[in-house]
Structure 1
């Protein structure tokens, strides 16, 4: 924090950041917004002393406050923040809470690693470091961290994996090993997920630690396995894509599964998993509106369902995006709506970043009578970027330096469509 690093608040802030050594840049940005508010009109240090007594100031419902949050009228401020600095006095840092009988927190052992960090990195004395740690709102995490770390070590989780998990879900340090972590990991492992797989679900799902194992997680996973045939790596893939699926009520999840079946997506296919992911984000009304929009673009009901079965991802596209894509393919290069319904993956590609540049390259190859000019536009559009660059762009840039400019152009000037895949030069 620059010059503020030497301020009495700096050690406290550094101790907060210590809990999660990786991924702290976001927290630093938040604290940069909070720190000036705390230092404002604090000539006699009253707010510093108050913060040492009430470190929860930097938190709201267990999370670090975002910049400007203390100034927000929607957030009720603690009474001590409203005190005038001119009429208050502050005890020296070393004297805050010296009397154990007045301390709001019981005497508990502070992990030596955290104390040593404050001493070595922040210049605290042994006594000051211990007192600050006792007053941290994260004191529970400090005491619990070792048991949590021991649990994961016992599971074969290395330090890097543990840090990543804590970076994604800091509340992990509060978790009760016996009541929360052990039962949930055991249940997921019994269902076929590896320890690393459960960790991935935990990292993506903020409700993993709070939702009931018996009431939600186990019934929902059993439903996915028994009714949909999704288990093992497929289950892990679904939970990674859509971690909310195990947090829904079983009734809601049953309704979502029903919607996917109504779309005619074959159960057991990857498309079914993607369909679950897509329909989970849509209400029944929104889904019906999207189906009606596809039909309004000229697709028959069978073409609409066929397109969704092939590429469920199109359910996630906005109406505007779909319209722009169809306008380009149908109105711009002469394709048909039936062709798009049979190849809906084309709607997933960005017109400006992928479709238009590759279309221009396709026309260039044809005009130069090159072998690759005989490839269909569908082949060129679905080709992975690295493969497209190697087989087309890099192959001919020495002979045709202008190809790079063609690939980067966004104009269809002097290109006349004659059906999808058949083009002629303007005369």
Structure 2
């Protein structure tokens, strides 16, 4: 452990400035002070399962499962060193328990040869101690590989920041296992060819990091589907459309389009208009769309073409937004408190706060019960005053 202390100090502490050294020692001193006393006496027979429960915080079932992968350990020396290192990085007991439960082999990592050099390399890339702690929790066994530093160098450039990358990694742990040269880089190059800039690619891959690990041919197929549905490359919605259909088969896309045509009485052109404005329509369940169709067309009385040009209305909650606001608008019109030509869509699109300010507050004298009735409608109730014949 003393060699580790010296290594970390020589790698991370600048020697040219006493003041710089003083500032850098602070986070490292916690690592060193935590690591120094961590090694416990070596028992004659090391009970791995008990160690995992008592020292690592695993539950008994977790420990029983993890101990099978650590049966070769004869002493707590390596695990103690790793635990001290993780504590020095700032991982909580709960974080350590989760890490060990998912990757028991982490307790056998070589602190001096792998973990400490990785911390040095990642610090040189600009990652903060908290970033590194998050990375350890998310990357699990990949942090035990020296290649993680070179991979992070590429991904930080691709995603633009450590926070963006860690958000993507949280969504897809396998990001660090993907073939950089054979898969990831060709995919990024193709997305550039599709007209997506660096920021667009970063946003797309934060939302859908698994896109980087599939074949380029599969992405080409998704791009062809997007263009076939009327969203050309270079369109502001192209990225969103690609995100929506990237993992849908051609058969599923065709079936979903047919559902939209049937439910909303749309033509192929109207489906294209709707998709170009709200690509997530193709990812919504048939049941949820059916309920919105029945409400908006049969009850509200909206025309199919009207909905196709304003497809965002289909993305809002039926119970929490569409239906309660319809009740309020209809009540106001029926009681002469609102012009009959006031557009329902305009009432749906605004935030709840603005809706209350525009449609409820001005009528508190004429309809003092309106706020309570609206609240009840948002909870799924239908107040008697909202029952129209």
TM-score (norm 1): 0.65
For the residues of structure 2 that align with 1:148 and 1:305, how far apart are their CA atoms?
49
Matched, 1:260 2:231: no
Deviation (angstroms), 1:218:
0.3
For the residues of structure 2 that align with 1:114 and 1:189, how far apart are their CA atoms?
24
Deviation (angstroms), 1:405:
3.0
Q: Deviations over 1:327-347 (max 9, x none)?
A: 101111211111111111111
Name the stretch that deviates more: 166-175 or 322-331.
Answer: 166-175
Match of 1:363 among 326, 330, 355: 330
1:154/1:372 CA distance change after superposition, 3 Å = farther
Deviation (angstroms), 1:239:
0.3
1:152/1:374 CA distance change after superposition, 3 Å = farther
Which residue pairs with 1:169 in the alignment? Answer: 139
SS at match of 1:322: helix
SS at match of 1:148: helix
Which residue pairs with 2:247 in the alignment? Answer: 281
Matched, 1:322 2:289: yes
Which residue pairs with 1:55 in the alignment? Answer: 67
Matched, 1:219 2:190: no
1:393/1:236 CA distance change after superposition, 3 Å = farther
For the residues of structure 1 that align with 2:163 and 2:348, how far apart are their CA atoms?
35
Deviation (angstroms), 1:158:
2.1
Which residue pairs with 1:81 in the alignment? Answer: none
Which residue pairs with 2:199 in the alignment? Answer: 233
Q: Is the 8 A contact 2:292 2:318 kept in 1?
A: yes
1:152/1:372 CA distance change after superposition, 3 Å = farther
Q: Deviations over 1:310-352 (max 9, x none)?
A: 1101001111211111110111121111111111111111211
1:175/1:365 CA distance change after superposition, 3 Å = farther
Q: Is the 8 A contact 1:175 1:209 kept in 2?
A: no
1:159/1:373 CA distance change after superposition, 3 Å = farther
Match of 2:53 among 6, 10, 13: 13
Q: Is the 8 A contact 2:79 2:108 kept in 1?
A: no
Match of 1:290 among 243, 251, 256: 256
For the residues of structure 2 that align with 1:222 and 1:412, how far apart are their CA atoms?
57
Q: Is the 8 A contact 2:53 2:60 kept in 1?
A: no
Q: Is the 8 A contact 1:366 1:374 kept in 2?
A: no
Normalized per residue, the structure richer in helix is 2
TM-score (norm 2): 0.71
Q: Is the 8 A contact 1:55 1:137 kept in 2?
A: no
Which residue pairs with 1:152 in the alignment? Answer: 122
Q: Is the 8 A contact 1:360 1:406 kept in 2?
A: no
SS at match of 1:266: coil
For the residues of structure 1 that align with 2:138 and 2:364, how far apart are their CA atoms?
44
Deviation (angstroms), 1:240:
1.0
1:193/1:8 CA distance change after superposition, 3 Å = closer
Matched, 1:402 2:379: no
For the residues of structure 2 that align with 1:397 and 1:150, how far apart are their CA atoms?
64
Q: Is the 8 A contact 2:266 2:304 kept in 1?
A: yes
Matched, 1:97 2:47: no
Q: Is the 8 A contact 1:238 1:273 kept in 2?
A: yes
Deviation (angstroms), 1:368:
4.7
1:32/1:362 CA distance change after superposition, 3 Å = farther
For the residues of structure 2 that align with 1:108 and 1:294, how far apart are their CA atoms?
57
For the residues of structure 2 that align with 1:346 and 1:286, how far apart are their CA atoms?
23
Which residue pairs with 1:380 in the alignment? Answer: 347
Match of 2:166 among 178, 199, 204: 199
1:175/1:390 CA distance change after superposition, 3 Å = farther
Matched, 1:350 2:327: no
Q: Is the 8 A contact 2:175 2:210 kept in 1?
A: no
For the residues of structure 1 that align with 2:328 and 2:186, how far apart are their CA atoms?
52
**In angstroms, what is the RMSD of aligned CA positions?**
3.6
Q: Is the 8 A contact 1:141 1:173 kept in 2?
A: no
1:231/1:214 CA distance change after superposition, 3 Å = same
SS at match of 1:207: helix
Gaps of 5+ in 2: 1-46, 94-103
